[in-house]
């Protein structure tokens, strides 16, 4: 049994404990959490850390298979150019290099205190690493296509089956409103209703997404056309993207809307009115890398139980660090540390339906344990030099 203490313990599901003690067994399962009322009178066999102890992070949006694209895409050229560059880079890299990077960055996420990942996959490249990883993965096999819905769905269903047969949690998921046809959306909806799957979809990452749905104009239309996508039978709905596809999504499933850089209160309201369990994922470092624009964080404050954080892929980020995502939001908003921490841990665990094990410090859970050092105790918030140390 390890007995661990720090200046504060943040269980997330309950109030912070000054000089609290947490007891974990050799498997990392929490045996007990002791409220010392701020007085560490008994320090027998105690590991003490300067900082705050928190549960392991849940990375709610990643593309591990794209790790080989680190430093390969020019920053701040906007989403349409970013997509074009990713498609061009795909397939030109040696397979060995792709696989090495998957393995390396799985290990890196563990070092960054991440214990669970919602990971988007277009291929089965990450399967082997995930099957023996220390991290819990839920794979979202992504479908993209504005035509040939049956063929595309079947191809991705084969990858889905392979992950499932290897005992890995998996869903079939749509890429984004602008890249999936109605027919393909409806196939995914039927499949996810049958298996009660959780779903993840990129949302309003570029202003051109709305332009495409409103009037079939903007740089996204140009980028898709230049990539050879046939848009001749794609018609704009005359409504913004969210309103255009909302009825093609399953109503009862947990659905994660990722990025939301250009989302407004109106978009958020449409989603909450029409769906019973929507979640939001913010990936600010990726937004700065691709569009040099951040979402309006204040819009999400009232959905405190529903906001999660993601790193996105190394194609659009310098690191896979949830702590860095938290720092970026802290610098650019008035979101408190308590709120941010919930976004980085428990909410992602709830979205993935793994909060019986992950996301908070509670007896019987095995959530992983991190300590944040260089914490600003005066402001009770992260400082620029805050760092993560993984305890288990």
Q: Which residues bind Zn ion (CB under 5 A)?
A: 312
Instruction: Tell me how far, at minimum, the Cβ of 302 lies from Zn ion, in Å.
Output: 25
Instruction: Tell me how far, at minimum, the Cβ of 61 lies from Zn ion, in Å.
Output: 6
Beta-carbon contacts of residue 39 (< 8 Å; ≥ 6 apart) = 19
Measured from the CB atom, is 65 or 312 closer to Zn ion?
Answer: 312
Measured from the CB atom, is 22 or 79 closer to Zn ion?
Answer: 79
Instruction: Tell me how far, at minimum, the Cβ of 58 lies from Zn ion, in Å.
Output: 16
Measured from the CB atom, is 140 or 337 closer to Zn ion?
Answer: 140
Instruction: Tell me how far, at minimum, the Cβ of 42 lies from Zn ion, in Å.
Output: 48
Q: Which 3-state string (H, E, C) describes 143-204?
A: ECECCCHHHHHHHHHHHHHHHHHCCCEEEEEECCHHHECHHHHHHHHHHHHHHCCCEEEEEC
- Phi and psi at residue 111, to the nearest 5°: -65, -25
* DSSP codes, 9-48: E--SSS--EET-EEEE-TTS-EEEEE--TT-----TTEEE
Measured from the CB atom, is 173 or 244 closer to Zn ion?
Answer: 173
Contact (Cβ atoms closer than 8 angstroms) between residue 23 and residue 1: yes
Instruction: Tell me how far, at minimum, the Cβ of 55 lies from Zn ion, in Å.
Output: 24
Could you tell me which of 202, 187, 173 has the C-alpha nearest to residue 312? 202
Measured from the CB atom, is 283 or 361 closer to Zn ion?
Answer: 283
Point out the residue whose Cβ comes nearest to Zn ion: 312
Measured from the CB atom, is 267 or 312 closer to Zn ion?
Answer: 312
Instruction: Tell me how far, at minimum, the Cβ of 205 lies from Zn ion, in Å.
Output: 8
Measured from the CB atom, is 53 or 64 closer to Zn ion?
Answer: 64
Instruction: Tell me how far, at minimum, the Cβ of 278 lies from Zn ion, in Å.
Output: 17
What is the distance between the alpha carbons of residues 89 and 98, in angstroms, rounded to a whole number? 12
3-class state of residue 222 by DSSP:
helix
Instruction: Tell me how far, at minimum, the Cβ of 282 lies from Zn ion, in Å.
Output: 12
Angle at 330 between CA 324 and CA 332, to 5 degrees: 105
Measured from the CB atom, is 291 or 312 closer to Zn ion?
Answer: 312
Burial letters 381-390, b for 16+ CB under 10 A, else e = bbbeebbbee
Instruction: Tell me how far, at minimum, the Cβ of 384 lies from Zn ion, in Å.
Output: 26
Could you tell me which of 2, 59, 54, 58 has the C-alpha nearest to residue 28? 2
- Edge-to-edge order in the sheet of strand 254-259: 199-203, 254-259, 277-282, 307-309
Measured from the CB atom, is 9 or 79 closer to Zn ion?
Answer: 79
What is the distance between the alpha carbons of residues 14 and 316, in angstroms, rounded to a whole number? 35
Could you tell me which of 154, 126, 158, 152 has the C-alpha nearest to residue 139? 126
- Local structure of residue 126 (DSSP, 8 states): T
What is the distance between the alpha carbons of residues 144 and 201, in angstroms, rounded to a whole number? 11
Instruction: Tell me how far, at minimum, the Cβ of 202 lies from Zn ion, in Å.
Output: 5
CA separation, residue 352 to residues 135, 257, 306, 355 (Å):
14, 13, 12, 8
């Amino acid at each position: 049994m390890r007995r661990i203490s720090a200046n504060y313990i943040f269980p997330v599901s309950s109030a912070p404990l000054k000089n609290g003690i947490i007891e974990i067994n050799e498997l990392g399962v929490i045996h007990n959490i002791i409220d010392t009322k701020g007085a560490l009178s008994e320090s027998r066999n105690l590991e003490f850390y300067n900082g705050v102890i928190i549960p392991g992070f849940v990375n709610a949006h990643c593309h591990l298979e794209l790790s080989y694209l680190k430093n390969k895409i020019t920053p701040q050229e906007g989403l349409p150019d970013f997509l074009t560059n990713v498609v061009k880079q795909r397939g030109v890299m040696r397979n060995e290099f792709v696989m090495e990077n998957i393995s390396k960055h799985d290990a890196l996420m563990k070092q960054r205190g991440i214990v669970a990942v919602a990971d988007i996959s277009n291929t089965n490249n990450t399967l082997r690493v995930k099957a023996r990883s220390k991290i819990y993965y839920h794979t979202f096999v992504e479908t993209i296509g504005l035509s040939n819905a049956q063929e595309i769905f079947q191809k991705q269903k084969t990858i889905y089956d392979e992950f499932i047969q290897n005992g890995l949690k998996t869903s079939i998921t749509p890429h984004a409103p602008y890249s999936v046809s109605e027919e393909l959306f409806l196939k995914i909806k039927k499949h996810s209703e049958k298996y009660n799957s959780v779903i993840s979809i990129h949302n309003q990452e570029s202003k051109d997404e709305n332009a495409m749905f409103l009037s079939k104009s903007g740089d996204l239309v140009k980028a898709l056309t230049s990539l050879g996508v046939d848009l001749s039978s794609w018609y704009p709905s005359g409504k913004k993207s969210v309103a255009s596809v909302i009825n093609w999504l399953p109503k009862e499933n947990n659905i994660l809307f990722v990025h939301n850089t250009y989302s407004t209160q109106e978009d958020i309201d449409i989603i909450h009115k029409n769906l019973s369990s929507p979640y939001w994922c913010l990936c600010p470092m990726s937004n700065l890398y691709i569009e040099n624009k951040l979402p309006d964080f204040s819009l999400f404050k009232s959905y405190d139980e529903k906001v999660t954080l993601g790193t996105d892929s190394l194609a659009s980020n310098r690191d896979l660090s949830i702590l860095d995502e938290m720092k970026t939001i802290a610098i650019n908003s008035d979101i408190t540390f308590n709120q941010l921490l919930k976004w980085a841990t428990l909410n992602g665990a709830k979205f993935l339906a793994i909060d019986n094990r992950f996301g908070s410090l509670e007896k019987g859970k095995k959530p992983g344990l991190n300590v944040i050092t260089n914490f600003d105790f005066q402001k009770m918030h992260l400082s620029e030099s805050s760092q993560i140390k993984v305890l288990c």
